[in-house]
Amino acid sequence: DKSIEDYVMFISLINKDTRELYQMANLPSFSVIAPGDWVEDRYYLENLDIAVPQFLDKGEYMFFVGMGNNIRTRSLYLGDIEIN
């Protein structure tokens, strides 16, 4: 239904030591095929190359992918990554 159209997909990195949060919007998901045009029972795969900003502290980060709007946000924890 059209309720998905106001959602934005994003990636979150949380530093395991400082608990600082960095988020990046995942806009390509919406520019090729708008969510309102997504087909039910079909999987959409997207490969992303992420350029981690140099100002992020080095260390271990929890890696999440999420989707949210002004009312609801849901994130899925994918694992830990190391930023050097």
- Residue 35's nearest CA partner among 72, 71, 78, 67 is 67
* Confidence (pLDDT) at 40: 87
In this prediction, residue 75 carries a pLDDT of 95
pLDDT confidence of residue 30: 66
pTM of the full structure: 0.74
**In whole angstroms, what separates CA 19 from the centre of its chain?**
17
Closest CA to 36 of 72, 74, 3, 69: 3
Q: Which residues does 59 contact at the CB level (< 8 Å), separation at least 6? A: 15, 16, 17, 18, 82, 83
pLDDT per residue, tens digit, the chain (84 aa), is 455 567 788 999 999 999 999 998 877 666 677 777 878 898 877 787 888 888 999 999 999 999 888 888 999 999 999 999
Per-residue pLDDT at 81: 95
